[in-house]
Amino acid sequence: MYAAPRTATRRPQGCVPPAAQLLVANRAVDLLRVNSALCTASGRSRG
């Protein structure tokens, strides 16, 4: 009875389907790309 919550706290992604993990990963990559694009755009406009 006590082993389930321990494993749940250790691996919170165990209950998440792989499709959701892919969506989250893609969203994070998109955010990183947008941030890098904004940084490069602002740097070019400045100087």
From first to last of its 47 residues, the chain has per-residue pLDDT tens of: 455 555 555 555 567 788 888 999 999 999 999 999 988 887 777 65
Determine the 3-state secondary structure of 46 from DSSP: helix
pLDDT of the residue at 28:
93
pLDDT at 32: 94
Give the DSSP letter string of 17-43: -HHHHHHHHHHHHHHHHHHHHHHHHHH
